[in-house]
Structure 1
Amino acid sequence: MVEPIAIGLRLIATLALTVLLTACVARPTGDFGRAEPSIVHDTMMPFVGDRISQLQGVPVSGFNKTDQEVEMQDRVWRFLIAPHAQDWLYDMSVELQRTHIVPPKDDRYSPTRYYTWLKRTDYQSSRTRYSTVGEDATIDIETLPSTFAAICAVIEVDRQRALALAGLRRDLPPSNDSDVAARKYENDAYIAWFVRALNYRYDSYHFALDSLVVETPHEQSLGVDDALQRLNVFVGRANRHDFCGDGIRVTARGTVALPSRFQHTGDNEVVLLK
């Protein structure tokens, strides 16, 4: 009985240390918000999270990650956090969720937080808030094609892994079955998290734009609305799990999106269509 208790105490001590480090150090990011290597965030915290998951009966794969899986998680990461906007995406909570130290909580996030951050930020011009929303949405749009491609590559890896297992099962130990199933579970969960995060971003931008039109009406709302319509195309594809097809109709003027929610009536007046 002494050894299990000692192991449990060591696990609790490691968890406490990890949580303390997480509270002080956010996961480092590089270009375009992609995650950068970190011993704390890539080794220590996942180790603790995997032990917690195993104790709770959640599938944990013993496989090494493929290059495609690492690439997908690094690209998806920027959609899970927003360090430039004072944690409106709950950055610390996200890191604990990513490493399985705490269960998923993102389904309870409020889309009003982004607008609250915009409202409290001291801009010299009220038009700048529109520019911020438009720029944030545009950056998302520019990084989504490569993110979709990375997700598609992981979906293909899972397919190839299942085919290989089916053909070689008799020559491999039984643990490969559980590892393949667990890795598929992990990848599917990460992709589902990305879909929720993308919807949350779109809903947050949508709420912010509508709120700004009421609070400080400006013609800049039209440009922001156009960006959100283009983003909405990707949101629709993500909700359908259409990561591998082009999924977008294109004309000579660019991407075809949904009609605008706003109408420009002249004299810089903007009204919300009913």
Structure 2
Amino acid sequence: MDNFFRLAGALALVAVLAGCVARPVGDFGRAAPSWTHDTAMPAAGNFIAGNRGEPVSSFNKTDQEDEMHDRVWRFLVAVHAKDWQFDGAVELQRTRIVRPRDERFTIERYYNWLKTTQYQSSRTRYATVGRHVTADIDTLPTTFTAICKVIEIDRQRAIAYGGLGHDLPPRLAEEVAARKYENDAFIDWFVRALNYRYSSYDYALDNLLVETPHEQSLAVDEALRRMAVFLNRANRRDFCASPGGHPGGGGGVVIPSRFQNIGDTEIVLPK
């Protein structure tokens, strides 16, 4: 019965917080400190997640885990494009109040935002996509490095418990496993978010090529080719240094351009 009342209280708190669910944003698009979003919602979410049968760790976060969450967050939302990545739903998911919802996001939202935003020149839409892709590329190396550090932290936890487990309470093994579950789930979310961003940019460029053909499309396509290198690494869960020892390296993989096989083929419009 006590558990029932605690769950009811958590759900009531969620209802109160529903009106201010989007996480506040500070300088440079970073998350701003907020008691509601940093303390109240995570506490309610952890309780709700536990009642769903999901592993929940009470471990304090390491500096590396905090850094990973801070760096990944910008890929989960899109404050530069008026919630085309569902900022409210993302915050409920981040705090574990609801199960993952990002898997149902559809890729046309970014293009729809571009299409309905008024620009003086149609070329500016290409510049906007290129700017957003480049901003993502610029932060991906440090994001990969932050994720790599957390993977190493989980490895070190397992080694430490393996060597000291006989002197530690059994509950600690559950905590280690729960924190790894949480970190793995967050990393998987980042990978899905990166795929969603790339697909959204790619879809927008394809539509712009048909709607307003301009030579600026070549620069955007090249930016997407550079982003695809990181995307391929993320899908392989290759977040640590490349074989050459350079974080963020492409490993020699060449991503073909969408224009590579077009050549001078005549375009025939439907009658």
TM-score normalised by length of structure 1: 0.90
In structure 1, C-alpha distance between the alignment counterparts of 2:49 and 2:5, rounded to whole Å? 19
Query: Does the 8 Å contact 2:111/2:200 carry over to 1?
Result: yes
SS in 2 for 1:63: coil
Aligned counterparts of 1:270 and 1:226: Cα–Cα separation in 2: 23
2:218 pairs, out of 193, 217, 222, with 222
Query: Partners in 2 of 1:142 and 1:30 — Cα distance?
Result: 19
Partner of 2:138: 142
Q: Tell me the alpha carbon deviations over residues 215-241 of structure 1, each in whole angstroms, 9 at most, x when there is no partner.
A: 000000000000000000000000001
Corresponding position of 2:155:
159
Q: Which residue of 1 aligns with 2:103?
A: 107
Contact 2:230–2:250 under 8 Å retained in 1: no
CA displacement 1:189-210 (0-9 Å, x = unmatched): 0000000000000000000000
The Cα shift of 1:249 comes to: 4.5
8 Å Cα contact 2:229/2:250 also seen in 1: no
- Aligned to 1:185, which of 178, 181, 188? 181
Give the 3-state SS of the residue equivalent to 1:161 in structure 2.
helix
CA–CA distance in structure 1, aligned partners of residues 64 and 173 of structure 2: 21
**Aligned counterparts of 1:270 and 1:186: Cα–Cα separation in 2:** 52
Q: Percent sequence identity over matched residues?
A: 61
1:217/1:159 CA distance change after superposition, 3 Å: same
Compute the RMSD of aligned alpha carbons: 2.1
Distance in 1, Cα, partners of 2:153 & 2:257: 39
TM-superposed CA distance for 1:18, in Å, is: 1.9
* Pick aligned residue for 2:56 from 60, 71, 78: 60
Partner of 1:9: 8
For the pair 1:258 / 2:255, whether they are aligned, the reply is yes
Q: Is the 8 A contact 1:81 1:94 kept in 2?
A: yes
Q: Write the mapping of 1:30-49 to structure 2, written as runs, cut at 5 A.
A: 30-49=26-45
Residues paired across the two proteins, number: 261
Secondary structure in 1 matching 2:160: helix
The one-letter code of the counterpart of 1:198 is L
For the residue of structure 1 that corresponds to 2:99, the secondary structure is coil
- Contact kept, 8 Å, 1:112 with 1:207, in 2: the verdict is yes
Q: Aligned to 2:106, what secondary structure does the other structure show?
A: coil
Residue 256 to residue 58, structure 1, CA distance change in 2 (3 Å): closer
When residues 4 and 221 of structure 1 are mapped into structure 2, their CA distance, relative to the original with a 3 A threshold, is closer
**Mean alpha-carbon deviation: is it higher for 188-197 or for 35-44?**
35-44
The whole-number CA distance in structure 2 between the counterparts of 1:5 and 1:238 is 40
Q: Which runs of 5+ in 2 are unaligned?
A: 244-248
Which residue does the alignment assign to 2:246?
A: none
Residues 171 and 9 (structure 1), Cα distance of their counterparts in 2 relative to 1, 3 Å cut: same
The equivalences for 1:163-174 within 5 A come to: 163-174=159-170
The worse-fitting range, judged by mean Cα deviation, of 191-200 and 32-41 is 32-41
Aligned counterparts of 2:239 and 2:212: Cα–Cα separation in 1: 37
What residue in structure 2 maps to residue 133 of structure 1? 129
Alpha carbons 2:7, 2:48 under 8 Å: kept: no
Are the counterparts in 2 of residues 115 and 207 from structure 1 also a CA contact under 8 Å?
Answer: yes
SS of 2:183's equivalent? helix
Q: Return the offset for 1:16.
A: 1.2
> Deviation of residue 57 (structure 1)?
0.6
